[in-house]
Amino acid sequence: MDDLTQIQEAEMVEAQSLLSLDATIKEKIERIEKLREEIRPHKEMLNSYLENDDTYREATALAKKASANKSEVKKRLLGTPQGKDLSSKVETMSSDIKEEEESLSDLLREYQKTTGSSEFEGSDGELRQIVLQARLVRKTNLNRE
C-alpha cells in the first residue's frame, strides 16, 4: 500500500468519524428537546398539586411576605453610604474575577493545545485537571412558534 492510499484511507476514516459525531450530536439535541417538551406537563401537574394544598399555599404566602420584608431591609441598607460602597466594591471585584477567569480559560486552552497535556501543576504544587466545557447556544429561531 502506497503513502497516498494510506492518506486517503485515513481521511475517509476521519470523515466517517466526523459524520458519526455530527449525527450523535444531532440525536442528543433532539433527545434533550423532546425531554424538555415531555417534562412541561409534569411540571404543571406538580405545581397544580402543590397549589391545591392549603398548608402549602399558606407557607408560600408567608415566604413571599418574608421575602418582601427582606428586600425592603436590603434596599434600605444598600442605600446607605457604607452599603453603596461595599456593594460597589463587590461588584467591581466580581467583574475582575470573571475577566481573570476568562483570560485563564484562554491561556489553558493554549497550554493544552501546545503541550497536549490536560493537567497543570500550580505554583502551590497542586495538580489540576484542565476541563473544557462546550455548550450550544441557539443562533437561529427555527421551529419556534
Alpha-helical runs (H) found in the chain: 3-51, 54-78, 81-115
Query: What is the CA 123 to chain-centroid distance, rounded?
Result: 28
Could you list the pLDDT tens digit for every one of the 145 residues in the chain? 688 888 888 888 888 888 888 888 889 989 999 999 999 999 999 999 999 999 999 999 999 999 999 999 999 999 999 999 999 999 999 999 999 999 999 999 999 999 999 999 989 999 999 998 888 888 888 766 5
Under 8 Å between Cβ of 130 and 108:
yes
